Amino acid sequence: MTGSVGKDGWTYLRLDGEPGKRGDTHGRELGDAIAKSLRRADFMSKLDTGEPFDFFTRAVSETFDDFPGISDEIREELRGIAEGASRATGSTITLQQIIALNAYEELVDSWWPTSQAHGATRRLRGARPRCSAFIATGSHTADGRIVAAHNSWDRFSSGDALSVVLDIRPPAGEGHRVLMQAAPGWVTSNTDWMVTGAGLVVLETTIGSFDGAFAPDGDPEFYRSRRATQHAADIEGWTALFSENNNVGYVNTWMLGGTHRGVENTIALYELGKGGPGDAWFTHTTNGFYTGYNVANSPEIRLQQCTDPMQRFDIRGNAARRVRLEQLLTESEGKVDATRAQEIIGDHFDVYRGEESAGSRSICGHLDLDKGEYGNHGQPPYFPWGANDGKAYHAGSDPEDPLGFRARWGNSCGQEFDPAAFVRDHPQYAEFAGHMDHRTGYPWTAMPPR
């Protein structure tokens, strides 16, 4: 399969060969989408910081010297994306723009508010929700093998870009195949949802309210996650590569699964805060489940490096999803497969209200439907933010591709989002008009496409 393939709202792109070739193919095939992502990044950057995206593009070279720790392999892929996109669009797209696009979370949320030039001391992230996820194995799944599911929460203006699945196939001896959700111009998932030829499944949810010190001399998170995912042979290898030269740029609860020989059906929960490898929090099992809901599981990270540790218990916010995920996975013990995973990640039950109610507390997030009378994760009522997708993986269940997973574009539940109708009903968000795409109710579909 060559070229990009569109299916049910997704764009699938296979990238073979040396890094420069992979990048050039990426840039040429997705050039228009990359240009659109850069325009959206400018809109979101001004909304988040009052600064244009060009401010962060300049910082990549002027403040961070183009992140010298990035390997030659990934730098060539990034450069290839910029050059390929420039040729495809007939406009100049620079390496620094592509790096800033990949590093948006850590530049805007972590570096900018704590940079000396702005005199701020807090990150922008707060306790806001970014994803729902789980990974299960052993007696909790239908056949004892690993099942995982994930959805990506974001402002719809940003989340519209997340409809890309990259299938990266490096040459022999240069790492493993990676099948991952991404966005135009990205070299890693960033959402994060990745399955590898080494038998790893990698997913995460952001740790909200994290406030550890950003390390500007460290390697960016987007690069560390790609390096670890492409080159690690097992779970321990992934954590070792990811923790190397940690810049504390984008801190997450990582859920890792291993399906390779010797550790079949092992899952792990891993959190790396502001320290080095020795300060990470790690646990693993061959019989159980882990969940992600934007709160640190590590007591040390939650209590010592986060500004709102009570989010673990506050079911008006992120804790509602913790409670609901635990309920559903316990009730479904011995029955969780890809189909059940799809149902769980699209669930709308609100444990605070005790009823079905799609909103800011449901696993399938809908801040855009939430009146905000019980809180809306610190956002105004009806804010255009929520689950942008759904993904489900069941190890060994795809007869055509061992890395294959199921994916749904748009809300995990399949609801339609009409931006014109939304702005008409909520005129306070008129400035978002033209910066949000119409999403029809897409079905679950196989990735890679059949």
Q: Is 67 left (phi over 0), alpha (psi -120 to 50) or beta?
A: left
136-174 pLDDT, tens digit each = 999 999 999 999 999 999 999 999 999 999 999 999 999
Helix segments in 156-199, DSSP class H: 156-159
| Cα 19 from Cα 406, distance rounded (Å) | 27
Q: Residues 173-182: pLDDT tens digits?
A: 999 999 999 9
Q: What is the per-residue pLDDT for 264?
A: 84
Rounded mean pLDDT of 221-241? 97
- pLDDT, tens digit (0-9, with 9 covering 90-100), for 249-263: 899 999 999 987 677
Average pLDDT of the segment spanning 352-366 = 97
pLDDT at residue 48, rounded to an integer: 87
Strand partners, 408: 390
Show Cβ contacts of residue 21 under 8 Å, excluding neighbours closer than 6 positions.
Answer: 80
Nearest to 167 by CA among 448, 398, 394: 448
User: What is the enclosing helix (H) or strand (E) of 327?
Assistant: helix 319-331
Q: Delimit the domains of the chain by residue range.
A: 131-144+201-447
Give me the residues paired with residue 12 across strands: 5, 165
What is the average per-residue pLDDT within 82-91?
Answer: 98
Mean of pLDDT values over 326-331: 98
- pLDDT on residue 310: 92
Mean pLDDT of 346-375: 97
pLDDT-derived band at 127, boundaries 50, 70, 90: very low
| Cα–Cα distance, 403 to 386 (Å, whole number) | 27
Say what the pTM is: 0.96
Residue 351 CB neighbour total at 10 angstroms = 17
Which residues does 40 contact at the CB level (< 8 Å), separation at least 6? 157, 158, 160, 161, 435
Residue 323 banded pLDDT, cuts 50, 70, 90: very high
- Give me the sign of the Cα torsion angle 267, 169, 31, 29: negative
Report the interhelical angle of 95-102 vs 31-49 (nearest 10°): 60
Average pLDDT rounded to a whole number, residues 10-21: 98
Q: Please report which confidence band the pLDDT of residue 243 belongs to, taking 50, 70 and 90 as the band edges.
A: very high
**Interatomic CA distance for residues 98 and 317, integer angstroms:** 34
pLDDT of residue 63: 94
pLDDT tens, position by position, 401-427: 999 999 999 999 999 999 999 999 999
Residues 6+ apart with CB under 8 A from 178: 166, 167, 168, 194, 195, 196, 197, 226, 229, 230
Pick the CATH number of 131-144+201-447 from 3.40.50.2020, 3.60.60.20, 3.30.1330.10, 3.90.550.10: 3.60.60.20
Backbone region of residue 11 per phi and psi (left: phi > 0; alpha: psi in -120 to 50; beta: other values): beta
Average pLDDT over residues 107-114: 87
What token pair was written down for 442? Answer: 């897409």
Question: What is the predicted pLDDT for the residue at 126?
Answer: 47
What average pLDDT does this structure show over 301-323? Answer: 94
Distances (CA, A) of 28 to 8, 35, 74, 285: 22, 11, 17, 43
pLDDT of the residue at 378: 84
Q: What is the pLDDT of residue 128?
A: 55
Q: What is the mean pLDDT of residues 219-230?
A: 98
Residue 124 has pLDDT above 80, yes or no: no
What element of type H or E holds 252?
A: strand 252-258
pLDDT of 87 > 60? The answer is yes
State the average pLDDT over residues 99-113: 93
The pLDDT-based confidence of 120 (bands split at 50, 70, 90) is low
pLDDT band, very low/low/confident/very high, at 119 (cuts 50, 70, 90): low
Find the mean pLDDT for residues 387-397. Answer: 97
E strands, 357-427, in order: 385-387, 389-394, 405-409
- pLDDT confidence bin for 129, thresholds 50/70/90: low
Q: Using alpha carbons only, how large is the chain's radius of gyration in Å?
A: 20
Amino acid 118: pLDDT: 56
The two three-digit tokens of residue 148, written as one number: 């995982």
